């Protein structure tokens, strides 16, 4: 194929000519500066309203001589959506002073669609005019800060100003942008094309070496080469990992890399060798690290890069500043630090049958087999149960009575009498009593009492301790309707009801004091699915993802995935299933997604399959946790 020499021009809804080259290659994409266009591949128009296509590479075009103010503004906005190395071409739309001070990596603002500029500048473009101001508007839905942390927003109006002046150039006075805000301004389609979500990993703070577990910290990195650093995605991920956790997660995690550790100067590309060993050259800050700490450092790298390279990284070798090996760690050796506390995590599936007893589905990895009652009083006891939460070791469970008044904790592997309730709600209305319980990765049990006169979040240490109230200072008048604990024990997913709507929030769990007098609080609640005005069910699905059931404003019920940072995966919406009352997913994302429905009972969705009925009469199905 031969590339056409005349660049395609795309136009927005107002007929603006937008000068960007887009090359769709055959196989891999090659980055090239504007002055050296590739000679193979198709050049085609790029429409900002199209779904993101990571195989499309966009090339910025420098402003033509005597470009009009409209062309300068449009060219600058479009150039920000390109893979322009160091934004050299993008800066050609700015005055010399603005080009030297503009910081594109300060943050990114994400709009629903590409930004609109005012149809006419605020000042008429008369011959004697030397300064023009434009308004940029749109609907803001997210921001990405300098740490690459994503923050979703309820859609809000966006408005910003660009100022153009005439500056002396080689061909005389030319219009250039003199005032420009720092950062990038992108529509959602361009953002998804240019960036990808990456989980970097740190250790939960305050744990012993034996109980150390990794916690996912999601960030967004450039899908190919970062224009500012020149680093590929793998190297960006390692660089971001070494820089430390994002501000939201930092109070509850630790990095085993010594402060100031960075990649050796000049390293911009990391790739596994023919033996799938990734060598990571570090600066002198890490030279004196001992073997135990180095192994933990290497495990952070291994888990961060798990899904990033086409070749599976089997081993990480961290190197001192002189190039000598600091330590080597293989994938199997890193299993002891697995984010879910084990190599595979619990995979049992439990539910409450129509008689109010807790049952387990044998052959749980496929959601098949004939259900059987668990041992002990929850499987055949004097009290009918409504919902259940099973400990991650699958030795005990907590169940709430059908009237939602009492919480019972008992063994599910041995017989015994039903103990007295661990928690009792005094609310009159069953809907205002106890929520379904959930267990964290430390073996503690959590439940919410929704009593309007005394609503509270409770934690039972080890599942058997005295209920302790957990403070949630940022509820802002809302009430916790449901909760699910993450396997790492440092995050909690909450359904918070306020003004008649339930929304999904993610909170950070902070612990202070000794184990015997520990004060626990849930702080900095952040919106996890702002596009859904009503969320009715949710569950953690893996280490930094949730599956939720909810509705958009005026929409129908849908089941979809959301990231823990509130972003939405490209393939987030799942096949439809009707009237879902609860949903359950495992730490292992290869296990089937389960749901309890009003009409079809308990159904499952395996990867690459459709929903299938597992149990016709049953409800409140859960995985351990």
Give the domain-ending residue among 194, 216, 251.
194
Q: Is the pLDDT of residue 102 over 90?
A: yes
Residues 162 and 247 in one domain: no
User: Contact at 8 Å (CB) between 21 and 58?
Assistant: yes
Residues 530 and 381 in one domain: yes
Query: Of 486, 403, 412, which is closest to residue 446 (Cα–Cα)?
Result: 486
Residue 277 pLDDT: 95
Neighbour-count burial of 571, counting CB atoms closer than 10 A to its CB (0-12 exposed, 13-18 middle, 19+ buried): exposed
Residues 320 and 460 in one domain: no
Q: Is residue 343 part of a domain?
A: no
Q: What is the mean pLDDT of residues 250-258?
A: 97
Neighbour-count burial of 212, counting CB atoms closer than 10 A to its CB (0-12 exposed, 13-18 middle, 19+ buried): middle
Residues 124 and 17 in one domain: yes
Residues 610 and 490 in one domain: yes
Residues 90 and 235 in one domain: no
Neighbour-count burial of 73, counting CB atoms closer than 10 A to its CB (0-12 exposed, 13-18 middle, 19+ buried): buried
Q: Read off the DSSP letter of residue 349.
A: -
Which pLDDT band holds residue 27 (cuts at 50, 70, 90)? very low
Give the domain-ending residue among 270, 302, 337.
337
Give the domain-ending residue among 166, 194, 222.
194
Q: How many domains does the chain have?
A: 3
Residue 59 pLDDT: 83
Q: Is residue 473 part of a domain?
A: yes
Q: What is the mean pLDDT of residues 17-32?
A: 40
Percent of the chain at pLDDT exceeding 70: 86
Residue 53 pLDDT: 54
Residues 570 and 609 in one domain: yes
Residues 377 and 402 in one domain: yes
User: Contact at 8 Å (CB) between 162 and 73?
Assistant: yes
Q: Is residue 342 part of a domain?
A: no
* Bridge partner residues of 401 (DSSP): 385
> In Å, what is the CA distance from 294 to each residue of 58, 310, 317, 318, 461?
40, 25, 10, 8, 32
> Which residue would you say has higher pLDDT here, 477 or 237?
237
Residue 207 pLDDT: 81
Give per-residue pLDDT as tens, 311-338. 689 999 999 999 999 999 999 998 888 8
* Token digits of residue 64: 């033509």
User: Contact at 8 Å (CB) between 248 and 220?
Assistant: no
User: Contact at 8 Å (CB) between 233 and 198?
Assistant: yes
Alpha-carbon torsion, ordered 299, 150, 226, 111, to 10 deg: 160
Q: Is residue 344 part of a domain?
A: no
Q: For residue 313, give its domain range.
A: 201-337
Residues 589 and 451 in one domain: yes
Residue 568 pLDDT: 87
Residues 60 and 166 in one domain: yes
CATH of the domain at 369: 2.120.10.30
DSSP per residue over 70-123, as a string?
HHHHHHHHHHTTS--GGGHHHHTTB-HHHHHH--TTS-EEEESSSPEE-SS-SS
Q: Cα separation of 240 and 219, whole Å?
A: 9
Range of lowest pLDDT (211-225, 394-408, 446-460, 512-526): 512-526
Q: Cα separation of 487 and 112, whole Å?
A: 33
Query: Of 410, 413, 414, 412, which is closest to residue 422 (Cα–Cα)?
Result: 410
Q: What are phi and psi of 512, to 5 degrees?
A: -135, 140
Q: Is residue 410 part of a domain?
A: yes
Residues 294 and 313 in one domain: yes
Q: Is residue 3 part of a domain?
A: no
Q: How does strand 545-551 pair with strand 558-563? A: antiparallel
DSSP per residue over 526-587, as a string?
EES-TT-SEEEEEEE-SSSEEEEEEE-TT---EEEEEETTS---TT-BPPP-SSEEEEE--S
Q: Is residue 140 part of a domain?
A: yes
Q: Report the sign of the C-alpha dihedral through residues 465, 468, 470, 476, in that order.
A: positive
Q: How does strand 214-222 pair with strand 277-281? A: unpaired
Residues 397 and 305 in one domain: no
Q: Is residue 266 part of a domain?
A: yes
Give per-residue pLDDT as tens, 591-602. 899 999 988 899
User: Contact at 8 Å (CB) between 19 and 82?
Assistant: no
What is the pLDDT of the chain when averaged over all its residues?
A: 87
Instruction: Name residues whose C-beta falls within 8 Å of residue 618's C-beta, 6 or more positions apart in sequence.
Output: 351, 352, 353, 354, 359, 371, 596, 601, 602
Q: Cα separation of 489 and 446, whole Å?
A: 11
Neighbour-count burial of 329, counting CB atoms closer than 10 A to its CB (0-12 exposed, 13-18 middle, 19+ buried): buried
């Amino acid at each position: 194929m031969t590339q056409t020499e005349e660049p395609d021009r795309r136009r927005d809804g107002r007929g603006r000519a937008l000068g960007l080259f887009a090359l769709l290659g055959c196989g891999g994409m090659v980055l090239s500066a504007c002055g050296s266009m590739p000679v193979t591949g198709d050049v085609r128009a790029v429409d900002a309203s199209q779904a993101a296509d990571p195989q499309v590479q966009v090339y910025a075009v420098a402003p033509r001589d005597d470009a009009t103010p409209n062309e300068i503004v449009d060219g600058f906005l479009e150039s920000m959506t390109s893979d322009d190395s160091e934004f050299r071409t993008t800066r050609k739309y700015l005055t010399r002073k603005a080009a030297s001070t503009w910081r594109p990596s300060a943050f990114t603002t994400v709009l629903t669609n590409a930004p609109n500029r005012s149809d006419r500048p605020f000042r008429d473009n008369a011959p004697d005019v030397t300064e023009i101001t434009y308004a940029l508007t749109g609907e803001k839905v997210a921001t990405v800060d300098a740490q690459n942390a994503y923050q979703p927003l309820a859609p809000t109006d966006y408005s910003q100003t660009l100022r153009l002046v005439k500056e002396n150039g080689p061909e005389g006075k030319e219009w250039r942008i003199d005032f420009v805000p720092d950062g990038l301004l992108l529509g959602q389609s361009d953002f998804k094309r240019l960036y990808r979500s990456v989980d970097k990993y740190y250790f939960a703070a305050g744990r012993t070496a034996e109980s150390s577990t990794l916690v996912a910290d999601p960030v967004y990195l450039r899908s190919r080469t970062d224009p500012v650093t020149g680093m590929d995605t793998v190297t960006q991920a390692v660089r971001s990992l070494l820089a430390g956790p994002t501000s939201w997660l930092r109070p509850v995690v630790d990095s085993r890399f010594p402060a100031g550790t960075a990649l050796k100067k000049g390293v911009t590309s990391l790739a596994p060798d023919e033996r799938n060993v990734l060598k990571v050259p570090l600066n002198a800050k890490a030279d004196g690290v001992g073997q135990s700490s180095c192994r933990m450092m290497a495990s952070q790298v291994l888990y961060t890069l798990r899904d990033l390279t086409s070749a599976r990284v089997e081993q990480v070798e961290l190197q001192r500043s002189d190039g000598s090996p600091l330590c080597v760690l293989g994938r199997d050796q890193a299993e002891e630090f697995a984010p879910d506390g084990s190599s595979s995590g619990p995979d049992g599936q439990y539910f409450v049958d129509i008689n109010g007893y807790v049952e387990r589905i044998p052959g749980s990895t496929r959601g098949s087999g004939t259900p059987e009652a668990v041992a002990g009083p929850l499987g055949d006891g004097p009290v009918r149960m409504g919902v259940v939460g099973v400990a991650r070791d699958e030795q005990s469970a907590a169940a709430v009575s059908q009237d939602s008044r009492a919480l019972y904790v008992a063994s599910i592997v041995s017989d015994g009498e039903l103990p007295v309730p661990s928690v009792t709600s005094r609310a009159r209305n069953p809907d205002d009593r106890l929520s379904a319980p959930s267990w964290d990765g430390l073996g503690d049990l959590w439940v919410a009492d929704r009593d309007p006169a005394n609503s509270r979040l409770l934690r039972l240490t080890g599942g058997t301790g005295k209920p302790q109230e957990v403070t949630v200072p940022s509820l802002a008048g809302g009430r916790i309707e449901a909760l699910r604990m993450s396997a790492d024990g440092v995050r909690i997913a909450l359904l918070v009801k306020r003004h008649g709507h339930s929304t999904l929030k993610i909170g950070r769990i902070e612990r202070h004091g000794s184990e015997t007098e520990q004060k626990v609080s849930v702080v900095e609640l952040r919106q996890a699915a702002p596009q859904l005005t009503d969320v009715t069910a949710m569950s953690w699905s893996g280490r930094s993802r949730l599956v939720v059931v909810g509705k958009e404003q005026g929409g129908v019920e849908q089941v979809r995935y959301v990231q823990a940072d509130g972003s939405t995966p490209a393939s987030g919406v799942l096949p439809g299933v009707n009237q879902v009352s609860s949903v359950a997913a495992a730490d292992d994302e290869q296990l089937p997604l389960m749901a309890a429905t009003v009409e079809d009972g308990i159904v499952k969705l395996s990867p690459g399959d459709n929903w299938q009925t597992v149990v016709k009469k049953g409800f409140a199905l859960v995985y351990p946790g």
